[in-house]
Amino acid sequence: MNRIDAAFARLQSEGKKAFVAYVAAGDPSFEASLEVIKALADAGSDIIELGLPFSDPLADGIVNQMAADRALKSGMTTPRSLELIRRFRETHQTPIVLFTYGYEAFHRDVVAAGADGILLLDLPPDEAASDSTLAGEQGLKHIRLIAPTTPDDRVGLLAKSSSGFIYALSRTGVTGAHGVPSEGIGAQVAKIKSHTTTPVCVGFGITTPDQAAMVAKSADGVIVGSAIVKQVELHPSRAAEAVRDFVAPLIAATKGV
C-alpha cells in the first residue's frame, strides 16, 4: 500500500486527522533540511510535503520565495532533492509528497528515491489525461489543488482525478500567513467530498493551534507550510529544534489531544 493511503487508513481507524507539513528541500542547507524533515516526522507529522526549489515560485508568498532562494544558494538541485529523500528513508517512513511533477524519467527516479506523491500544481486534469505519463500514477499519488473559486464542474473533475488526498485551499492568493482560513471551509470541504471519497486536507494561512483545530473539524487533514518555513528562516542554526517546538501544539490541536 502506498504510504499516503496507509497513513490515512491508520488515522481513520484512530479517529484522528492528518497533520501535513511543508518545507523547502535544502533550506537552509542539505544537512539542516534533512534534520528538519526528520524532526517533523518525529514530532508526529503524518505527511511531509517537500518543495523542490526553483527560481520563479509565482504561487508562493515571500516566506516560501525566500526559502527557495536560500535552498538554491546552498546548492540544492533536483538530484540533490532526491538524495535528501533517500537519506530520509534510511531512518523514516513518513510519506513524502513533492511539490512538482515531471515525465516518465522523473516519475521513475522519485519513486526509486522514496517519494509517495506529487502535487500537480498547474496541470489541468483534462490535459493530464492526454499524456500517458501523467494520466497514470506509476507508483505516485496525484494530488490536486482545489480553490474556493474553482467552478462547480471543475471541482468534480479535479476531485475525481485526485488520489492520495486533495489539497483544498482555504482562501485565494499566494501562500503565507497574511490571510486567515475562510470561515466557509466546512461548506467547501463538503462540496468536494460530495464528489469523492479521497481525503480532503486544507491549507493556506493556518498558523495557530486554534486555526488548526477549526479546520480539523471539517477536513481530513490540516496543512501548514509558510509558518513552519518561517521558523527555519528565523532560526537557521537550530532549525530542526525550532520546527519541532513550533509544530508540537499544531499537531496536538489537529489531532484533538
- Using left for φ > 0, alpha for ψ between -120 and 50, and beta otherwise, residue 166 falls in beta
Distance CA 78, CA 91 (A): 21
**pTM of the predicted protein model:** 0.93
Write the pLDDT tens digit of every residue in 35-88.
Answer: 999 999 999 999 999 999 988 777 678 899 999 999 999 999 999 999 999 999
Expressed in angstroms, the distance from the first to the final Cα of the chain is 28
Average pLDDT estimate for 239-257? 96
Residue 179 has pLDDT above 60, yes or no: no
Is 49 among the catalytic positions? Answer: yes
Tell me, what's the pLDDT at 250?
98
The catalytically annotated residue of 5, 49, 116, 220 is: 49
Average pLDDT estimate for 219-234? 97
Quickly list H helices, the chain.
3-14, 30-43, 62-73, 78-89, 104-113, 125-128, 132-135, 152-160, 185-193, 209-216, 226-234, 239-255
* 27 DSSP assignment: S
Domains of the chain: 3-255 (3.20.20.70)
Provide the residue type at 209 as one letter. Answer: P
Tell me, what's the pLDDT at 163?
94
Average pLDDT, the chain: 90
More confident residue, 12 or 176: 12
Write the pLDDT tens digit of every residue in 216-225.
Answer: 999 999 999 9
Average pLDDT estimate for 100-123? 88
More confident residue, 257 or 256: 256
φ, ψ (nearest 5 deg) of residue 77: -135, 175
The catalytically annotated residue of 5, 60, 116, 220 is: 60
- Percentage, residues of the chain above pLDDT 70: 90
Is 131 among the catalytic positions? Answer: no
Write the pLDDT tens digit of every residue in 184-212.
Answer: 889 999 999 999 999 999 998 899 999 99
Distance CA 203, CA 198 (A): 16
Cα dist from 132 to 8, 103, 129, 225, whole Å: 27, 9, 7, 31
Q: Greatest CA separation found in the chain?
A: 48
φ, ψ (nearest 5 deg) of residue 189: -65, -40
Tell me, what's the pLDDT at 175?
54
Average pLDDT estimate for 159-180? 75
Write the pLDDT tens digit of every residue in 128-163.
Answer: 665 666 656 678 999 999 998 899 889 999 999 899
Tell me, what's the pLDDT at 104?
83
Residue 172 has pLDDT above 60, yes or no: no
- Given a contact cutoff of 8 angstroms between Cβ atoms, the answer to whether 204 and 179 are in contact is yes
